[in-house]
Amino acid sequence: MLQTFIQQIINGLALGSIYALIALGYTMVYGVLRLINFAHGDVYMIGAFVGYYAAQKFGIASASGQISFGGALILMMTAMMASASLGVVIERFAYRPVRKYPRLTSLITAIGVSLLLENGGQVLFGADPKFFPILNSAVTYTFGSVTVRLTDIIIVVVSVSLMVLLQTIVLKTKLGKAMRAVSYNLDAAKLMGINTDFIIAFTFALGSALAAAAGILVSLSFPKIDPLIGVLTGLKAFVAAVLGGIGNITGAVLGGFLIGIAETMAAGYLPQSLNSYKDAVAFAILILVLLFKPAGLMGSVAPEKV
Ligand X SMILES: Nc1ncnc2c1ncn2[C@@H]1O[C@H](COP(=O)(O)OP(=O)(O)OP(=O)(O)O)[C@@H](O)[C@H]1O
Contact predicate 279/227, CB 8 Å: no
Alpha-carbon gap, residue 83 to 213, rounded angstroms:
9
Alpha-carbon gap, residue 115 to 270, rounded angstroms:
32
Among 59, 193, 294, 303, binds ligand X (CB under 6 A): 303
Alpha-carbon gap, residue 33 to 224, rounded angstroms:
34
Least Cβ distance, residue 259 to other proteins (angstroms): 12
Window 259-298: contact mask with other proteins (x via CB under 8 A): --------------xx-xx-xx-xxx-xx--xx--x----
Please tell me whether residue 301 binds ligand X under the rule CB under 6 A.
no
Least Cβ distance, residue 121 to other proteins (angstroms): 10
Q: Which is nearer to ligand X, 271 or 294 (CB)?
A: 294
Please tell me whether residue 101 binds other proteins under the rule CB under 8 A.
yes
Q: What burial letters (b/e) apply to 220-234, b meaning 16+ CB within 10 Å?
A: bbebebbbbbbeebb
Least Cβ distance, residue 183 to ligand X (angstroms): 20
Least Cβ distance, residue 15 to other proteins (angstroms): 18
Q: How far is CA 224 from CA 6, 22, 82, 221, 252, in A?
A: 26, 19, 20, 9, 26
Residue 8 has, within 13 A of its CA and on its CB side, a CA count of 17
Contact predicate 156/20, CB 8 Å: no
Please tell me whether residue 153 binds other proteins under the rule CB under 8 A.
no
* Contacts of ligand X in 251-280 (CB under 6 A): none
Please tell me whether residue 305 binds ligand X under the rule CB under 6 A.
yes
Helices (H), the chain: 2-33, 40-57, 69-90, 103-125, 150-172, 174-184, 186-191, 196-221, 229-244, 249-269, 278-292
Partner in contact with 271, chosen from ligand X, other proteins, none, beta carbon below 5 to 8 Å by kind: none
Least Cβ distance, residue 303 to ligand X (angstroms): 5
Partner in contact with 128, chosen from ligand X, other proteins, none, beta carbon below 5 to 8 Å by kind: none
| Strand 66-67 versus strand 134-135 pairing type | parallel
10 Å CB burial of residue 30 (0-12, 13-18, 19+) is buried
- With contacts defined by CB under 8 A, name the span among 109-117, 179-187, 192-200, 207-215 that binds other proteins: 109-117
Among 74, 88, 116, 175, binds other proteins (CB under 8 A): 116
| Strand 130-131 versus strand 66-67 pairing type | unpaired
Please tell me whether residue 142 binds other proteins under the rule CB under 8 A.
no
Residues of this chain that bind ligand X (CB under 6 A): 303, 305
Using CB under 8 A, list all residues that contact other proteins.
34, 36, 94, 97-98, 101-109, 111-116, 118-120, 122-123, 231, 235, 238-239, 242, 246, 273-274, 276-277, 279-280, 282-284, 286-287, 290-291, 294, 303-304, 306
